[in-house]
Chain A
């Protein structure tokens, strides 16, 4: 979970940073997209790592959740949680929504198979994104999914350190804070784009 999660957490930072080129104008984001597609080795290498990491992350998550649920044997009749965070308790659920979102997102912007209408954008990524987020349900789904990603990262990133043995009581609260900040940076970075489209800032 930790190593594949680390790959995916690193990917969203790169993806988010690239997306922010939307604010530099159509030329910047389109040039970035063209550059990615001009380096098929880099593009497909990254895609292969991501696909493998995603499948491994999901597979490990399913096995972990099922085994842990069975090991709990129903738990006590009275729930008295002392410190487990909402994020930690909802990891499988936030994960499922994020997966659903990722599939939709690929169909939406990569395969251009859904929710974009009949318009053909060719290589104009900028126009495609504006058209994509002009649909309010799509934009809201995107924003909610990214907030769930923030929640997921706030527990996941901190847990990576624990799994690798790089955490102690002195560093735990700092790493929890770092993970939460990371989650917010990722979420707000991504969300800024549909918000800017919805408010008419990006046209």
Chain B
């Protein structure tokens, strides 16, 4: 690090950044970036790179971002092979340049998965997640005026467990880190959030079956218990949600198999 008259230390970096146009093969581009403040977030460092490119009359790198405070789930970069970079439990926007060394080469790639095709450079299409949510990520409530908050009592342990699952911001790091491109951690988190709350009971089995079906159709892979998703999740969601997803899925399949048709069988009685 270069210490400049008691001012903040800065870094000079070599960046290998993925450049790709939709539907075309991509490749890494190498850039040098000087005077990066250690207090800058990773996204601010990328902003600096883009400003440097604009000044040179070159095309900028596209990347997703929104809240920049770690809660929206938009930022999505694989940094040195790690979705959201080297610090566990944070998103790319909350990753600061103080975690990198002066002179370091940093490789920046998009999420890599069949279900997340590259739109441009580092931005990928995560609408597979939207389809999963549309297929079951809702509950039935009366619309109009806001319902009274405490009409339905929720035991504290259940509320806590649902809240742990609801921490999922849907960023897709689980899919990007999974060696199978599986979305089980995401789907597990969403299903657990709603399936254990009293408000989620009406659609419980239908939700589980249809979200799993949509997940498979969207081209995500299958869980083989590597555990990489948990290790890279910026919200530290655990594999528990996958075990519980499996449990709820088995339960829903068994109930569906033995469900009543409401009519007597034709085979006599």
Contacts and interface: CB of A to CB of B under 8 A. Distances in A.
B121 interface: no
B112 A75 contact: yes
Interface string B147-182: 000000000000000000000000000001111111
Contacts of B80: 78, 80
Interface stretch (B46-54, B95-103, B243-251): B243-251
Contact of A72 (B114, B225, B246, B248): B114
Given A72-B114, A165-B246, A79 B81 contact: yes
B86 to A, nearest CB: 8
Interface stretch (A21-29, A42-50, A134-142, A155-163): A155-163
A162 B112 CA distance: 25
A72 B180 contact: yes
B179 A68 contact: yes
A109 B22 CA distance: 58
Contact of B222 (A67, A77, A168): A67
Contacts of B228: 81-84
Nearest to B83: A76
B84 to A, nearest CB: 11
Nearest to A92: B224
B256 to A, nearest CB: 16
B9 interface: no
B42 interface: no
Contact of A64 (B28, B78, B222, B247): B222
Q: What interface size band does chain B fall in?
A: 35 or more
Contacts of B244: 165
B180 A164 contact: no
B180 to A, nearest CB: 4
A161 B242 CA distance: 11
B109 interface: yes
Q: Which of B78, B81, B176, B178 has the largest count of A CB atoms less than 10 A from its CB?
A: B81
Interface string B16-33: 000000000000100000
Nearest to B245: A165
B109 A84 contact: no
Contacts of A77: 28, 81, 107, 109
A101 to B, nearest CB: 22
Interface in A143-194: 155, 158-159, 161-169, 172
A52 interface: no
B246 A164 contact: yes
A171 to B, nearest CB: 9
B82 interface: yes
B231 A82 contact: yes
A162 B247 CA distance: 9
A91 B223 CA distance: 13
B243 A88 contact: no
B11 interface: no
Contact of A159 (B109, B181, B221, B224): B224
A38 interface: no
Contacts of B88: 82
A158 B243 CA distance: 12
Contacts of B238: 169
B66 to A, nearest CB: 23
A115 B219 CA distance: 47
B247 A165 contact: yes
Given A71-B113, A88-B226, A165-B244, A78 B107 contact: yes
A15 interface: no
A75 B225 contact: no
B182 A68 contact: yes
Contact of A76 (B78, B219, B245, B248): B78
B226 to A, nearest CB: 4
A88 B230 CA distance: 15
Given A71-B182, A73-B113, A88-B225, 12 more contacts: A72-B221, A73-B112, A73-B114, A76-B78, A78-B78, A78-B107, A80-B82, A81-B228, A82-B228, A82-B232, A162-B223, A162-B225
8 contacts: A72-B179, A72-B181, A74-B112, A88-B225, A158-B225, A159-B224, A166-B247, A172-B239
Interface of A: 64, 67-68, 70-85, 88-89, 91, 155, 158-159, 161-169, 172
